[in-house]
Structure 1
């Protein structure tokens, strides 16, 4: 068996025309497009083991997605100096591999990660969203109060059972630790929610945003999003915010490469224990 090199890829994409990250039959996905292009450049099946830090849903964007794959050492040596530019020429314009480098074989894009950070963008301008940014910003039809949004967010930080905000999967835990959740209003008036956790369950970020927005516009009390944490099943009254406002902006990893394997082992053990 050929000796293999593990590569880390930093990827950005506009999720508008993708049915999410994961490859699906008869659907255009980020992973599907990436594999097709790698096969075209390197040969079918030469790149193996594509693994992503976080599978984004249909319509969700990324500026800081991370994945890894493995190549035979001789293939990497032959293509190392030109592979990034070849991918830039052949990939569609709505997905870019921004960086590529060899990493230790212990690096796991999914399990070695220490956090995922997302941003959600909303405008409450009475005239709506700038047409040039309509694919990345949600136009909210009511005025939003930054102080109310900030207070609502504060009650959701920490380790909680987020069952009220997650799509239930059999034998999967909804216990998560949100280490950062805050709002800001940028100089252009756009409201930005930053949400960071070790991991998220499906639709969790957009559900949190949906709950905070109705608290921010005054239709729900400020404590309402945090009060829902007492639920042990999904809260049907929470509206999932549209996908196009959400962007995965960063995935964190240990600074010391020697910690990759230890972090991956700890994450796997935690998931197995929590998920039964």
Structure 2
């Protein structure tokens, strides 16, 4: 078997015109565009094993997405000095590969990750979102109280079963550990939620945001989002916030590359609820 080199790709994209990350035969996706461009530059099927840290949904953006792929070592040596610039010329302007880094063969963009951090942008300005930020900022029709948003967020931090906030998948757990969840109001008036966890289940971040927003505008008590954590099924009362306000901003990995494989093994273990 030919020697292969594993590469880490740091990727950003405007998710507006993508049907999410995962390749789909009849839809424009980030993985599909990236694979087609690599095939054009390197030859069809030369790059293999494209694996992403977080499979973002349709309309969700990324400033700090990470993926990995494998190339035959001779191909990487041939193209190493110019591949990034060739991709910059050929990729559409709504997706960028910002860095390509050789990593150990046991690096796994998905399973070696220690955390994913998302941000969600909301404006409660009476005129709505500024035209230049309409693609990444949700316009909320009611005034929002920062203190109420943060009070609602505080009850969601920690390890919980987030079944009320997730689209359940067969043989998958909804147990997650949220290590950070808070809101800030930037000088321009935009409210930004920062949500960090070891991993997320489908629709979880946007569902959490949707629940916190109705607490932030006073329609629900600030204790309401946390009260849903006792449920073991998806809550029909939670509205999933629109995709365009959400962006994946950072994926964390062990500082020591020797820990990539250990972290991947740990992540693959099935999450089970703690004994009561």
Per-residue deviation at 1:195? 0.1
SS in 1 for 2:269: helix
Matched residue, 1:88: 88
Count, aligned residues = 273
Matched residue, 2:25: 25
Matched residue, 2:48: 48
Matched residue, 1:251: 251
Task: Provide, for residues 45-100 of structure 1, a one-character-per-residue CA deviation record: whole Å limited to 9, x for no partner.
Answer: 00000000000000000000000000000000000000000000000000000000
| Whole-Å separation in 1 of the counterparts to 2:125 and 2:104 | 48
SS in 2 for 1:69: strand
SS in 2 for 1:171: coil
Matched residue, 1:119: 119
TM-score (norm 2): 0.98
Matched residue, 2:208: 208
Matched residue, 2:2: 2
| Whole-Å separation in 2 of the counterparts to 1:150 and 1:198 | 21
Per-residue deviation at 1:25? 1.2
Task: Provide, for residues 211-238 of structure 1, a one-character-per-residue CA deviation record: whole Å limited to 9, x for no partner.
Answer: 0000000000110000000111000010
1:222 corresponds to 2:222: yes
Matched residue, 2:129: 129
| Whole-Å separation in 2 of the counterparts to 1:20 and 1:31 | 8
Matched residue, 2:178: 178
| Whole-Å separation in 2 of the counterparts to 1:184 and 1:165 | 22
Per-residue deviation at 1:269? 1.9
Task: Provide, for residues 133-167 of structure 1, a one-character-per-residue CA deviation record: whole Å limited to 9, x for no partner.
Answer: 00000000000000000000000000000000000
| Whole-Å separation in 2 of the counterparts to 1:243 and 1:193 | 14
Per-residue deviation at 1:270? 3.6
Structure 2, unaligned runs of 5 or more: none
| Whole-Å separation in 1 of the counterparts to 2:264 and 2:205 | 23
TM-score (norm 1): 0.98
1:105 corresponds to 2:96: no
Per-residue deviation at 1:175? 0.3
1:153 corresponds to 2:159: no
